[in-house]
A = this chain, B = another copy of it.
């Protein structure tokens, strides 16, 4: 217990941040009170605004405070290329790789044990988008985990039924990687996915 109940409340509230325990929360509280009250006030209002206003894009399901996110409403993006990812963080990563198409964010992956089925991933909306006829290719960029692969497989079946081309991002040696340190599963994928040069 500290000398102030407001401070205790702040410390407890900070513990809701992932990776922040009680000791770090205490250190952060003192730092803000002593050195950055202005930043803390800004953070409070940014949190409030973000939680109140940010919802999901009605088309791609990514986080946005608009009805249609800036990527979906951008006419310079290639609408014939649709990249399916698991989370908004993945959109960030793919954007960095200079991708110019549009996205569909699943907000999770198929996981029957956790009760996550196709309806939780918004696959009806994805089907709707494909039926509009603008999409020419769907790129499956789910994670390379068991659940990610299963989700990719399930969705690719769905895409094929719509007679649209479907592809999976390549698996192989990371750029800058050394063969000696690559696991055998990745190396086997790299060999079978070799390209003529």
Contact = CB atoms under 8 A, between A and B. Distances in A.
A65 B26 CA distance: 16
A31 B41 CA distance: 21
A83 to B, nearest CB: 13
Interface in A47-102: 47-51, 53-54, 57, 62-66, 69-71, 87-89, 91-92, 95
Contacts of A34: 87, 107
A9 B70 contact: no
A13 interface: yes
B17 A69 contact: no
- Identical subunits present: 2
A49 B9 contact: yes
A142 B90 CA distance: 48
Contacts of A89: 26-27, 30
A6 B43 contact: no
26 contacts: A1-B95, A3-B57, A3-B62, A3-B64, A3-B69, A3-B71, A4-B54, A4-B64, A4-B70, A7-B50, A10-B46, A12-B46, A13-B46, A16-B32, A16-B36, A16-B40, A17-B28, A18-B27, A19-B28, A27-B89, A29-B50, A32-B50, A40-B51, A41-B47, A43-B47, A44-B44
Given A7-B65, A40-B47, A45-B48, 13 more contacts: A2-B88, A2-B91, A3-B64, A3-B91, A4-B66, A6-B53, A10-B46, A10-B49, A13-B42, A13-B43, A33-B50, A41-B47, A43-B47
